[in-house]
Amino acid sequence: MKTKFVFITGGVLSSLGKGLSAAAIGAVMEARGLKVINVKMDPYLNVDPGTMSPYQHGEVFVTEDGAETDLDLGHYERFVARPLHQRNSFTAGKVYLNVIERERKGDYLGSTVQVIPHVTDEIKRLMELATGKENGHVDLAIIEIGGTVGDIESLPFIEAIRQMRADKGAENVLYIHVTLVPYIKAAGELKTKPTQHSVKELLSVGIQPDILLCRSEKPLTDELRQKIAAFCNVGKDDVISAHDVDNIYKLPLVFHEQDLDGRILKKLGGNWGVQSPQLDRWKQYVDRAEHPPHTVRVAVVGKYVHLTDTYKSLNEALTHGGIANDSRVELKYVDSEELTASNVGSHLGGVDAVLIPGGFGTRGIEGKIHAIRYARENQVPFFGICLGMQLAVVEFLRDVGGLTDANSSEFASPEHPTSNPVIHLMESQAGVTTKGGTMRLGRYPCRLAEGSTARRIYGQPEIFERHRHRYEVNPRYHKLLEEKGMRISGLSPKGDLVEMIELPSHPYFVGCQFHPEFKSRPLTPHPLFSAFLRAALERQVAREKSRPAEEISA
Ligand code: GLN
């Protein structure tokens, strides 16, 4: 059977959760037994999001093959089983770069190079690559267009998907438009006008949506669905209520309750002989997450703490690991720039565990080191990811190794020189000046030391995890680390790169150079997160047993 296409556009405003909707639709269709692939096309001009500030754009998600992608790919991978690749997400920057490079090579010699057809053709070529045979068999490709309909930048993408209906046949292409139905307090009503205008905008560029996903605070009433249907030229059953949910993993269930999957199949030419959706595993997860008996408090000490999108996969992985331990995870974001040796105890005193995530740049580094020292000395479960692991090595070698000026060469400067660059640039990175796709990226193997905590947690001698960093533990210091009691529990197969560390003399102190959060799924939580949250829960239980009540609530 030929691949069929669902295109997802957004209207009214950004941050509507279009990516999540695309992912959840993928989950329901996959539960129907279809081979689904999700793709993201972003209209901005960065060639990839790796060079954008996480303040602005949220997390950079990394795929197995080392693509630095939009965080929506993280949603797709968490909802749909198929691992994604570089080709499954592309930006306008990439499209234009390809077209202009081709023009310079003389490939279009003689013709005027234009948005239509050259840019739109390149978009279609990249869509083909993203969904074609390189990906194995695909029944259904769900392609999301970033941004909002009406943005200047998104026009070539909208034009390309408009053409797709003629190219592929009407029975193979479906348009879903995600809009907002705001609740206006003063009127005490949900309002449909923004949706009407947004559909009009889409019509003006030649696309009549087949299904509307209406984001709202509350479920849409039948009456409202009827009204939207009449104004927007769709059937009432094609107006789907995508109201707020307290747990994003309920979305596949919410959509199926309204038979969104059935509507999609019907519009794409019958039910293709597919099964009714097997959503039991989602139901079980949601049930288990509903009222967990425990709550653990985890401090996330970082720089971008005010924006939770910056740590999207991390937050999800913590949630998954918590549910695996029947615990709700309450996160306490601590701005590392505010931490000092004297106030760290008051910030971290009440938490059950401390996590230092990945990061770049000098700001807030010393605060993170204070947090690590606090966790190490006070037996608080600690998990350091990427930069978090690097700083755990710095802290340990400063305090226990006696190298008071130990630092990462990322943070050393003429004003703050170091004679002990315990974290340094790999030779292969030393000459790299271009940005974007130039770090150690994607999947690398790691061997786990016999008898280590890491080996016990993973239950296997070799693992594969995803990376995104430039700096590494300097091999000159491997021996000192081990002599002083920090165990190198994971190494690259050649033995030159430190991938994991741990402290055997601590209840739980683990660091990894890679980013395990990219591989955690609600239905298969990552073992390192499950183990970390188990340690947090154990500490909480132990503290409750050994302390007077008034201290525990402090
Ligand atoms: N800044 C560090 C490096 O480049 C860590 C990166 C990260 O935490 N992702 O190695």
Sequence-distant (6+) residues with CB within 8 A of 298 are 318, 329, 330, 331, 332, 351, 352, 353, 354, 355, 533, 536
**11 and 17 Cβ atoms separated by less than 8 Å:** no
- Is the separation of the CB atoms in 455 and 448 below 8 Å? yes
Ligand 1 atom closest to the Cα of residue 471 is: 10
CB of 497 closer than 6 angstroms to any ligand 1 atom:
no
CA torsion 401→402→405→409, rounded to 10°?
A: -20
Lowest mean per-residue pLDDT among 33-42, 53-62, 238-247: 53-62
Task: Give per-residue pLDDT as tens, 386-412.
Answer: 999 999 999 999 999 999 999 999 998
Half-sphere exposure at residue 13, Cβ-oriented, CA atoms within 13 angstroms: 8
- Asked about 515 being catalytic, the answer comes back as yes
pLDDT cut 90: percent of the chain above it: 79
Q: Is 272 in the pocket of ligand 1 (CB under 6 A)?
A: no
pLDDT digits (tens, 9 = 90+) for 486-514: 999 999 999 999 999 999 999 999 999 99
In the chain, what are the domain boundaries?
A: 4-284, 294-544
CB-ligand 1 contact for 468 (6 Å cutoff): yes
Just give the CATH number of 4-284. Answer: 3.40.50.300
Q: Where is mean pLDDT largest: 112-116, 134-138, 357-361? A: 112-116
Query: For the ranges 30-44, 193-207, 258-272, which has the lowest average pLDDT?
Result: 258-272
14 φ/ψ angles, rounded to the nearest 5 degrees = -85, 180
Which of 68, 313, 471 best tests ligand 1's pocket when mutated (most atoms within 8 Å of CB)? Answer: 471
386 labelled catalytic? yes
**Given its phi and psi angles, is residue 399 left (phi above 0), alpha (psi -120 to 50 degrees) or beta?**
alpha
Ligand 1 pocket test: pick from 410, 422, 440, 474 the residue with the most ligand atoms within 8 Å of its Cβ. 410
Q: What is the architecture, at CATH level 2, of domain 294-544?
A: 3-Layer(aba) Sandwich (3.40)
Res 305 pLDDT > 70? no
What pLDDT score does 546 carry?
A: 82
Atom 8 (ligand 1) nearest CA: 358
- Check if 4-284 and 294-544 are the same fold: yes
Instruction: Compute how many other C-beta atoms are within 10 angstroms of the C-beta atom of residue 451.
Output: 10
Q: Is the predicted pLDDT of residue 134 greater than 90, yes or no? A: no
Beta bridge partners of 334: 301
Question: In degrees, to the nearest 5, what angle opens at C-alpha 454 toward C-alphas 448 and 459?
Answer: 80
Distance 336 CA to ligand 1 centre (A): 16
